Each structure stands twice: as structure tokens, then as C-alpha cells.
Amino acid sequence: QVQLVESGGGSVQPGGSLRLSCSVSEDIGGIYLLGWYRQSPGKEREVVAEADTYGWTDYGAFVKGRFTISRDDTKDSVYLSMNNLDVADTAVYYCRAKPSRLGGSIYWGLGTQVRVLG
């Protein structure tokens, strides 16, 4: 069972920056896909960014170059650097792990709140 613990959320002004961290309970070198998702009240959870073990990354269309996902195998952590935040980015941000490329279990953290003050 992979455990994920997010941190780094908070309240910022529009245009501000935050860096989210997700600490993973095991060696992330063995986890195929790590990602960040978000969910706002009344909306479905959506993908923000994903990164696999081979260096591939992908972002939601709304990111538009503002966010960067990174994996640090030495710290068993995945990060999301967010710049130029907008009120529309207000949401709970969740870390997600998909250990196997071929199906299998998916694990979620409990989330961290990001609030961009409007």
C-alpha cells in the first residue's frame, strides 16, 4: 500500500506562486506514474500534471506553462511548482500514484488546499 502525504498548500494573491510537495512511502523509482489532480467544489477531479519514470510529463490544458511537475527519487517525493496563480486555480490538490504501467491499484493522498484570493 503506497501512502502519499501532500503539503505546501495555502492562500495566495492572484499572480502568486506555491510549491506543493508529495511525500511517498516507498521508493518512487519503482512507481510508474506520479501525478497531481485537483478538485473544486461542484466540479469533477481533473488532472493537473503527471510524470512517469522515463521523464515523460503531461499537463492539463489549463496549465498553459504556469506549472511544473518534478520527481525527486532521492527524496521519494513529487513536486508541483505553480506560478501566476489565478482564482480559478483554487481547489484541493491531490497527489496520485500508479505504480504499474499495466493496470493495478491507484493510490491517492488526502489533499492540500490551495486558495487564490479573489
Mean pLDDT, rounded, for 106-118 = 96
What is the pLDDT of the chain when averaged over all its residues?
96
Which DSSP letter does residue 63 get?
T
Mean pLDDT, rounded, for 62-80 = 96
Residues β-bridged to residue 52: 33
Mean pLDDT, rounded, for 75-92 = 97
**pLDDT tops 90 at residue 42:** yes
pLDDT for position 101 = 85
CB contact burial 90-110 (16+ within 10 A = b; e otherwise): bbbbbbbbbbeeeeeeebebe
Mean pLDDT, rounded, for 36-52 = 96
pLDDT for position 115 = 98
**pLDDT tops 90 at residue 103:** no
Neighbour count for residue 14 (Cβ, 10 Å):
13
pLDDT for position 106 = 96
Mean pLDDT, rounded, for 12-40 = 96
Task: Report CA-CA distances (Å) from 65 to 25, 40, 101.
Answer: 29, 21, 26
Nearest to 58 by CA among 26, 98, 90: 98
**pLDDT tops 90 at residue 118:** no
**pLDDT tops 90 at residue 59:** yes
pLDDT for position 107 = 97
